[in-house]
Amino acid sequence: MNKNLINGISADRIGIDDRGLRYGDGLFETIAFSAGRASLWDRHMSRLTEGCLRLGLDEPDRDLLSAEANLLAGPHDRAVIRIILTRGTGGKGYIPPETPRLTRIVQCLDAPPEDAGPQGLRAFWCSIRLADQPALAGLKHLNRLEQVLAGDECRRAGCDEGFLMNGAGELIEAIHSNVVIATDSGLVTPVLDRCGVQGVGLAWLMDQPDVTVEQRRIDRSEVEQAREWMVINSLRGIRPVTRLDGLERQPGPACRQLQELWNHMMDDHAA
């Protein structure tokens, strides 16, 4: 069975002059499929469309992407589909071509294995800081070197996740996920107007009528004083963080409530 489609053709190579390879000039989405369904498909497509508009790329053909994703995911009970759009080739150095022809890559990857997430993750504060760039804030763009460096640091620390701050010392996100903390005043998540990825799992959570999540700036001391720490992404859902450097927390009622909502949503889409 084909595992990769490049511009609709079974292949596993792109040209060395592709701007996605040269400059990280593009976007990607990583989408969980279960029993042939992607519960958050529309949200992924909305973020991809917004990213294309902000980068000056043609709006993606959602029907075409859906057909290719379902073709690759169809034979599997659980799968992950990664969609990559680059600006293609051409231009003069950093200056992009006036009329780019996008490279469209659709890949089928193995679903992540079950892990210790429900019992709790070990996290630490990453030393690397995320650079402010409002023009790219929120987007799932191909420039992931900050996360690569943080991921290497996470591996060496023997942890499952790392919390990332910006240069001002404000919490932004985790390496693979968005962060939600439970404080005395309620649930809080960082505002992402300067950097960070606006995850589709977080967007889903903030749209739930029975959940209130305040989005604002959060400093390290507030994180460390929080009652609960949680991370959320579209592949693994909502997971508690039980250790942050030398601090420990038990999975609490806020996390359990959000996990129940998430599982209910997933069950509804699988039905």
Region 173-194: mean pLDDT is 98
Distance between the two ends of the chain, CA-based, in angstroms? 26
Q: Rounded to whole angstroms, how far apart are CA atoms 197 and 140?
A: 6
Does residue 152 sit in helix, strand or coil? helix
Please give the CATH topology (third level) of the domain spanning 117-270: D-amino Acid Aminotransferase; Chain A, domain 2 (3.20.10)
Residue 13 burial (CB count, 10 A): 8
Q: What's the gap between Cα 122 and its chain centre?
A: 19
247 with 224: CB under 8 angstroms?
Answer: yes
Residue 118 has pLDDT above 90, yes or no: no
Q: Give residue-wise pLDDT tens across range 67-117.
A: 999 999 999 999 999 999 999 999 999 999 999 999 999 999 999 876 545
Please give the CATH topology (third level) of the domain spanning 4-110: D-amino Acid Aminotransferase; Chain A, domain 1 (3.30.470)
Q: Give residue-wise pLDDT tens across range 7-16.
A: 999 999 999 9
Q: Give residue-wise pLDDT tens across range 28-54.
A: 999 999 999 999 999 999 999 999 999
Q: Rounded to whole angstroms, how far apart are CA atoms 52 and 87?
A: 10
Q: What is the DSSP string of 74-97?
A: TT-SEEEEEEEEE--S-SBTTBPP
Q: Rounded to whole angstroms, how far apart are CA atoms 88 and 97?
A: 9
Domain positions in the chain: 4-110, 117-270
